[in-house]
A and B are shown apart, each in its own frame.
Chain A
């Protein structure tokens, strides 16, 4: 049987992934909800340990729509840290936000 959602999942998984570092889980949750309210798909996750010198850090995982997301966070004065994109081989590369 064909899953009617499969086309959607293929599309989502093919979108470029971004990580936006946040200062705390509280801040990350608030940022995620703000983005979700504007139909930007964002979830809260722990950042890979190599991405930050500070130790345990929470982040937003985005599928596409980076510029929209950053613009929304800035306009709502929500603090965020470094931004990374996931490259073809799976590594995270910092991008200028």
Chain B
């Protein structure tokens, strides 16, 4: 099998991540629900994950690292906390449905900034204009479909300038592309634990800035139990119900793995694989590759074919043991921006564990199929 769908989830995990998960599953119970040994082991695992994430993202306060089920959950918490029905939110033209749907559900009006792939200039110009009078901004760091790395630091600066709280969706960047809280200094950063952070499914993180909004979920927090409202402090405010301590332990182990191997080295490795794939495919007339003029920006490559439907390509590759994702990737807005809404694309996304040999084998099979 050749797994090229890391943008959905990093299917292959470091051994230490799996071992940490299993060890905690077997030894820890529910965090924050007792002071007996298994409960405290679970609490220790949760705190260790918060601290590992805080250190990794240069985030000042581990208690403001909220553990979530996934990035969608984290984004829903953040959007629910800040959304104001009837007011306007500015989003980039490359947002996932995990941003668009909660915003629509919250009753906000949407303005879209940047409708051209790999065009920072028009994106920033749109943000500059549309932020005036808006009450919220949400932007992805990296497009999950096209691997476009948005100038998130500059977007964050514009939002601060206009006094508009910003939520950053770091689903495709966390763990592989530089993400520094001090550069963003925004309202919230949401991310999954199971993609490039190499944790397990069922894990996500929300880095919470200074603004404190209404919780999305209400329930037991193991603290201030007589109160009929959620606690007014982090992380308990946003963590109702039993938390996933084994996933937290896995996330700590994953961050240690990334730190040891080197985030920059992983980024370079994935870009090289992506460039290699691009080189192998770029002369095929049937294929339209979605890449910037210069070099690939991340480990994601999207393409479509003039002779074969995207889903057909993905299905045939799948039969050959090559795992890619086709369609709209839950991001129709991004496909509208790129002009691919009618056809969708096939997406290949690379992980730290892919090799150049796998790239060559996958490219050869694809060329044979088309």
Contact = CB atoms under 8 A, between A and B. Distances in A.
Contact of B222 (A25, A44, A45, A53): A25
Contact of A24 (B35, B40, B223, B226): B223
A26 B231 contact: no
Contacts of A23: 223-224, 231, 233, 236
Interface string B205-228: 000000000000000011111110
Contact of A44 (B40, B63, B225, B235): B40
A55 B224 contact: yes
* Range, interface on chain B: 20 to 34
B325 interface: no
Contacts of B40: 44
B337 to A, nearest CB: 40
Interface in B36-86: 40, 43-44, 46-47, 50, 62-63
Contacts of A44: 35, 40, 43
B34 interface: yes
Contacts of A54: 223-227
A57 B40 CA distance: 14
Interface string A19-52: 0000111110110000000000000111000000
Interface residues of A, number: 17
Contacts of B46: 26
Contact of A55 (B31, B50, B62, B226): B226
Contact of A53 (B32, B43, B226): B226
Contacts of A58: 32, 35, 223
A14 B324 CA distance: 66
Interface in B271-330: none
Nearest to A54: B224
A30 B35 contact: no
A24 B225 contact: no
Considering residues A26, A53, A58, A79, which has the most beta carbons from chain B within 10 angstroms of its beta carbon? A26
A56 interface: yes
Given A23-B231, A24-B231, A56-B222, 19 more contacts: A23-B233, A23-B236, A24-B223, A24-B233, A26-B63, A26-B235, A26-B236, A27-B63, A29-B43, A29-B47, A30-B47, A30-B63, A44-B40, A45-B35, A53-B226, A54-B225, A55-B227, A58-B35, A79-B233
Q: Which 6 pairs show the lowest CB-CB distances between chains A and B?
A: A55-B225, A55-B226, A25-B32, A56-B225, A54-B224, A45-B35
